[in-house]
Chains A and B, each alone.
Chain A
């Protein structure tokens, strides 16, 4: 069964304390893996798309990496404005996108 699992469910960091969020997936035929940021009461905001193992992408304090079984979202020296829920999704078929339940990140000043 195609599945996406994100961990941890929630994470509290001090400002400047770097960490990583995990997205583990089992899918027959990965077409793409996506990271989104979602603020409370708002729609997900696109961050990254990764297509193949070994691929890495960066944007400001965020870096996403991909292996054959999981993806990591590394947050370097986070700031309070990085607080949000981070969603991971995989595309397992033409119209089949499977979403994880997200990691709620809180960065304390």
Chain B
């Protein structure tokens, strides 16, 4: 089955810690995205990548970092600089950058202790 996997499902972070969220897809999609979902708000774009070794900041990139070393993988690091990281994080991919439907993974819920 083709799809997008995210791990872990739940993640707890202590103050001052960096944590990394995993996102893997086997859909052979070129573009990948990271969104943040907070209650009562629409999804907000953190970072996106259209090809390997290239990524761009989205609307709320401060305190986050990403890498795209492989087509299938797009991990997100939430750094200690992100002051309010508690949220539901969603990874998505699309076949072609900017011209196609986005498909989402199951999400990671990050909680700051």
Give A contacts to B, CB under 8 Å. 4, 31-32, 34, 36, 41-46, 49, 87, 89, 91, 93-102
Contact = CB atoms under 8 A, between A and B. Distances in A.
Interface in B47-74: 48, 50, 56, 58
Contacts of A98: 42
Interface in B32-50: 33, 40-43, 45, 48, 50
B99 interface: yes
A101 B104 contact: no
A44 B48 contact: no
A97 B31 CA distance: 13
6 contacts: A42-B106, A43-B107, A91-B98, A93-B98, A94-B97, A96-B45
Interface string B73-106: 0000000000000001010000001110111111
A43 B40 contact: no
Nearest to A100: B42
A41 to B, nearest CB: 7
B56 A42 contact: no
A3 B45 CA distance: 15
Given A91-B98, A95-B97, A46 B103 contact: yes
Given A4-B42, A101-B40, A43 B105 contact: yes
Given A42-B107, A100-B42, A101-B41, A95 B98 contact: yes
B11 to A, nearest CB: 14
Nearest to A45: B104
A94 B99 CA distance: 7
A44 B42 contact: no
Nearest to A6: B42
Contact of A31 (B90, B99, B103, B106): B99
Contacts of A95: 31, 33, 45, 48, 50, 56, 58, 97-98
